[in-house]
């Protein structure tokens, strides 16, 4: 029988401190975020700001060419590269080579926010992950590749340095479980996927669970109903990527991200109301939560 999940608290995190930030932007880590579409450019913008607010020194965004210029204006702190796109406004799955060039010397790579086509997302992810040498976060439709039994075998180097960030529906699809079963026992579901794929799983539902392949599971109860809003998961994925870029190992990055994301929501709930705040308001709270934990 699996051990009872460890409760994530401020005290636990203070006893498990993050690596110290580097002294300049080059030593604080570089994140590459791959995602977005002609219809959903905001997802990568949310993830990019979250990664920067978490302390990453540099963030690059790779998205469809039709929205690259507007994203570059909206994200003046980032480098944005436009990629060839399909007629449906998705990143062309054949864009692996320019992305691999961008990924050279990256500290962490996030794939998935804002991708809208399941098949294209799975093809793009499958063409990249086995060839990457940095820690990886797979979010949203990029998880479709993980659900393919022929694609990712446990023990692969990429899996050991990977964080998967599913919501309840995504975890159910990836495991091929009924969604009510996932919601009923998120800890069991997260650990099942972590064990199958030998990757860290950061499951976000009514309660958040982080599971690593060795069997350790953490339970995070922070957050409010206000976090159940479009874009919230993109922010959380960006926090994970930013922490990986700072040098945190996958399990630590996922556990800290769950708590930081939840506390950011609690801070907004106190200031704005239990619901009605926006995902784009969350990143500004991230440095404040990190400061609380450092105090």
pLDDT 10s digits, 200-211 = 999 999 899 999
Burial of 39 (0-12, 13-18, 19+ CB in 10 A): middle
Look at residue 107 in the predicted model and tell me its pLDDT.
94
Among 25-34, 61-70, 241-250, which is the least confidently predicted range?
Answer: 25-34
- Give the CATH fold of the 23-138+149-294 domain: 3.40.1190
Question: What's the pLDDT tens digit per position in 59-82?
Answer: 999 999 999 999 999 999 999 999
Cα–Cα distances in angstroms (integers) from residue 244 to residues 159, 202, 228, 248, 256, in the given order: 14, 13, 24, 5, 11
Mean of pLDDT values over 231-246: 97
259's tokens: 């708590």
Is residue 55 predicted with pLDDT exceeding 60? yes
* Cα–Cα nearest to 174, from 201, 152, 148, 137: 148
pLDDT score recorded for residue 148:
62
Q: Is the pLDDT of residue 16 over 90?
A: yes
Confidence band of 31 (pLDDT split at 50, 70, 90): very high
Domain boundaries, the chain: 23-138+149-294
pLDDT (mean) for 184-188: 96
Which of 14-28, 57-71, 231-245, 274-288 is predicted with the least confidence, judged by mean pLDDT? 14-28
Q: What pLDDT sits at residue 22?
A: 74
> Over 60: is that where the pLDDT of 156 sits?
no
User: Could you tell me what percent of the chain has a pLDDT over 90?
Assistant: 85
210 neighbors 190 (Cβ within 8 angstroms): yes
Determine what percent of the chain is predicted with pLDDT higher than 70. Answer: 95
């Amino acid at each position: 029988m699996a051990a009872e999940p460890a409760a994530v608290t401020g005290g636990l995190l203070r006893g498990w401190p993050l690596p110290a930030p580097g002294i300049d932007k080059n030593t604080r880590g570089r994140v590459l975020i791959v995602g977005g579409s002609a219809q959903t450019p905001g997802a990568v913008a949310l993830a990019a700001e979250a990664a920067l607010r978490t302390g990453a020194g540099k963030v690059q965004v790779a998205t469809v060419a039709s929205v690259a210029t507007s994203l570059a204006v909206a994200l003046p702190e980032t480098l944005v590269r436009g990629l060839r796109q399909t007629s449906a406004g998705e990143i062309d799955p054949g864009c692996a080579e320019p992305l691999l060039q961008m990924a050279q010397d990256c500290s962490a790579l996030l794939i998935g926010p804002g991708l809208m086509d399941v098949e294209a997302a799975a093809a793009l992810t499958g063409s990249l992950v086995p060839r990457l040498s940095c820690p990886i976060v797979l979010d949203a439709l990029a998880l479709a590749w993980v659900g393919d039994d022929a694609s990712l075998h446990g023990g692969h180097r990429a899996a050991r340095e990977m964080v998967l960030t599913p919501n309840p529906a995504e975890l159910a699809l990836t495991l091929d479980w009924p969604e009510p079963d996932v919601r009923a026992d998120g800890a069991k579901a997260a650990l099942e996927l972590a064990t199958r794929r030998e990757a860290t799983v950061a499951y976000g539902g009514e309660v958040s669970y982080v599971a690593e392949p060795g069997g350790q599971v953490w339970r995070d109860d922070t957050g409010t109903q206000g976090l159940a809003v479009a874009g919230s998961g993109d922010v959380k994925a960006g926090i994970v990527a930013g922490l990986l870029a700072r040098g945190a190992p996958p399990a630590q990055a996922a556990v800290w991200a769950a708590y930081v994301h939840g506390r950011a929501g609690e801070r907004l709930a106190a200031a704005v109301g239990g619901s009605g705040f926006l995902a784009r308001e969350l990143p500004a709270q991230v440095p404040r939560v990190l400061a609380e934990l450092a105090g």
